Every structure is written in C-alpha cells, then in structure tokens.
Amino acid sequence: MAIDSEEIWRQVVPEEKIAMMSRAHSSGVFWGAIAVLSGCTFAMALQIQALMWFGIFLSPVVFQVAAGKAWRGIKPRLMLEFLAARSAARRLAFNQGARDLNLLMLFRGNCQPIFERDDLTEALNHSFANKAREAVWIGVFSDTIIVMSEGIGGAALVCGYSINDKLAIESSDAGGYTQDKEVILSAADRLTGKMHRHRITSNYAGALVVFEKRIIGLKKEKIEALSGQQQKAEEKEEGPTFGGEDDLELFSSSF
C-alpha cells in the first residue's frame, strides 16, 4: 500500500510546523547575515565599496537558498518521525483492544503519573527511574487514547485509556488556552479496579486544547450510543404494548 505523504503532513500539528519553519528561517537569516558581513569585510579589506552593496543585495537570495535547503532536510525527517509514531500507536492500540485503528490525532507531549497516598512506593520507583515526567507521543483513536514513549527497542506504552463513560477528564483551565495547560485523565483498571491517573502536558498548547475537546466529544458520542442501545434493548424486552384504555375497550368489544 502506498504511503500518502499529504495525509501524514496533515497529521502534524500546526504549532510543530511553525516551529520547524522557524528553524529553517533561522538558518536562512544566519547565512544571509554571513553574506552581508563577508561583503563588508571584503569591501574594507580591498577598499571597494561595491562589494559591501553586493553582499547586501545578495543576502535575500542567500536567505532563500539556505532556508529552502534547511526545510528540505527538516520536513522529511519530521514526516518519518510521525510515520513511525503512527505505526507504533496503531500497534499499541490494537494490543489495547481498539476496534477502530484510524488515527484521529497525534502530537508530542509529556506524561506524569499521579499517585495516591497509598502508592508512595510506586511513586518513588518512578522518580528513581527518571519517569516522573516523560516525553511522550499522544495518539487519539475513536475509542482509545494511547500514550507512548520512545526507546532504544522501539515505542513503549506508558498508559492507555478507553474512551467511554468511565473515563474522567479534568483540565487546569476548563477548556481554555493557556501555555501551562494540563489535562488529567483517570479511569479504573478493568481487571484490578485500581484507579489510574495521568497528567498530560505539551509545549504545543493549541494541540492540547484540540486534544481535550476531541476526547470530550468522543466520550459524549459513546455515551449517547450506549444509551441508545440500552433503550432499544429495553423496548425489545418489553415487547408490543397497547396504546391505552381505548385500545383495551376496543379489544374487549370484539369478543
């Protein structure tokens, strides 16, 4: 199956695209400034004023060439990183029991587990393992949230949450846009019943706002679908009913 580069590029969050463009532009500015300084240096050394103006007029061309070259090196690497992260997220989502492997959102962030007072030993173990605040990838599917970290042996699952009525979503600013925004996910383990909580942050605050709104919307859809299924099941169990007393009188008069 062919890889659609446009689809991969659309999955990159706009804030990360802007950051990569800034890196490419900074390279262009650097080499443009080098062109101006070189022209001025040769003009002073050779006492030829035209060399200074030549360096100044040449700097925009140098900026375009240097920025374009830097961008052609940054964009493919960024797309390969997202392609690898997407494949790992789908694999981990499948292992978590996700039914729909169509990735809706993928971005970089940080994850920090939140421990209760009874879990001090586990909290200390995470601190000594330097996992108190991990750099992670966050992937959102229609029914699953995958948080994974990068490692030498490949991606490792940090935590996974099923999007349903049991998932609790908290925010530090209640859906607002702030640079220090935090989203806290919590749910009980299906096997042990133990409550798990994780704090999600990101350098890309806009992506975190979209992440929060998207999982809230998906959770609402799941709840509505579940209530609709329950209502249909109840109607099926009750069976056909008469409309009221008039129907009962009409039914009696026929005998």
- For residue 190, report the phi and psi dihedrals to the nearest 5 degrees: -70, -30
Q: Cα–Cα–Cα angle for 231, 232, 237, nearest 5°?
A: 100
CATH of 100-234, one of 2.70.150.10, 2.40.110.10, 2.30.29.30, 1.10.540.10: 2.30.29.30
Segment 171-219, tens digit of pLDDT: 877 666 677 888 888 888 777 777 888 999 988 888 888 898 999 999 8
What residues does each domain of the chain span?
Answer: 5-81, 100-234
Model confidence, pTM:
0.75
Q: Is the pLDDT of residue 42 over 50?
A: yes
Say if residues 159 and 139 touch (Cβ distance below 8 Å): no
Better-predicted residue by pLDDT, 60 or 241: 60
The confidence score (pLDDT) of residue 131 equals 55
Give the pLDDT band of residue 250 (cuts 50, 70, 90): very low
Segment 94-141, tens digit of pLDDT: 988 888 888 899 999 999 888 766 555 554 554 544 555 688 999 999
Per the listing, tokens 């806290």 go with: 184
The confidence score (pLDDT) of residue 65 equals 93
Closest CA to 161 of 148, 174, 178: 148
